[in-house]
């Protein structure tokens, strides 16, 4: 039985799946005016919300390097909506929008979220407890915004 909400992830030390979401991370970095160093390891986890067999949202969190130094990181997030091509054609002109198709032929569209990256550097001496609290608050904010976006679209 398929679960309607599930999590998948990739540890930065797992090179087999690190390349997933490279395009989206690059777009996220470009939208926030910084260089994503795709030559250094990165990790991600994804929350998937299957509304129906034909409509799915996935909220992807990434930890990736920014800039040219190997001690500078960014945490980012983006939301994607996945739907059947027939459903997508019924509500919009697919030639006018940027979208991707997955291997199943489903249409993947980025849903804009007003979220800036959370940047951190390992060379800055910082209280780990404070940093963890800030990261937790950042993730809570992202989840709240994404769930509000999903709820507004399915109601």
**pTM for the full predicted model:** 0.85
What is the per-residue pLDDT across 17-64, written as a single tens digit (0 to 9) for each?
888 899 899 999 999 999 999 999 999 999 999 988 888 999 999 999
Measured CA to CA, the distance from residue 15 to residue 21 in angstroms comes to 13
Measured CA to CA, the distance from residue 67 to residue 72 in angstroms comes to 7
Q: What are the φ/ψ torsions at residue 47 (nearest 5 degrees)? A: -100, 120
Contact 149, 111 (CB under 8 A): yes
- 3-state class percentages of the chain: helix first, strand second, coil last, to nearest 5: 30, 35, 35
Measured CA to CA, the distance from residue 50 to residue 35 in angstroms comes to 32
Contact 97, 88 (CB under 8 A): no
What residues contact 61, with CB distance under 8 A and at least 6 apart? 44, 45, 46, 75, 76, 77, 139, 142
pLDDT of residue 141: 95
Checking if the pLDDT of 104 tops 80, the result is no
pLDDT of residue 91: 67
User: Sign of dihedral through CA atoms 78, 83, 88, 91?
Assistant: negative
Checking if the pLDDT of 131 tops 90, the result is no
Q: What are the φ/ψ torsions at residue 60 (nearest 5 degrees)? A: -110, 125
CA–CA–CA angle 123, 66, 143 (5° rounding): 100
Q: Report domain extents, the chain.
A: 5-154
Section 7-24 average pLDDT: 89
Checking if the pLDDT of 83 tops 60, the result is yes
User: Sign of dihedral through CA atoms 138, 70, 22, 24?
Assistant: positive
Section 138-155 average pLDDT: 90
Checking if the pLDDT of 129 tops 80, the result is no
Contact 67, 40 (CB under 8 A): no
pLDDT of residue 32: 94
């Amino acid at each position: 039985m398929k679960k309607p909400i599930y999590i998948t992830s990739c540890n930065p030390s797992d090179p087999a799946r690190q390349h997933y979401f490279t395009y989206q991370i690059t777009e996220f970095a470009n939208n926030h005016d910084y260089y994503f160093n795709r030559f250094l390891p990165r990790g991600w986890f994804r929350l998937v919300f299957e509304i129906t067999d034909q409509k799915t949202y996935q909220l992807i969190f990434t930890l990736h390097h920014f800039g040219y130094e190997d001690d500078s990181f960014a945490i980012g997030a983006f939301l994607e909506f996945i739907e059947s091509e027939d459903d997508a054609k019924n509500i919009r002109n697919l030639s006018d929008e940027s979208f991707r198709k997955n291997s199943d032929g489903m249409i993947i569209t980025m849903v804009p979220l007003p979220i800036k990256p959370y940047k951190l550097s390992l060379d800055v001496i910082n209280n780990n407890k404070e940093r963890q609290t800030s990261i937790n608050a950042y993730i809570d904010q992202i989840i709240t915004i994404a769930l509000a976006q999903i709820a507004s679209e399915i109601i």
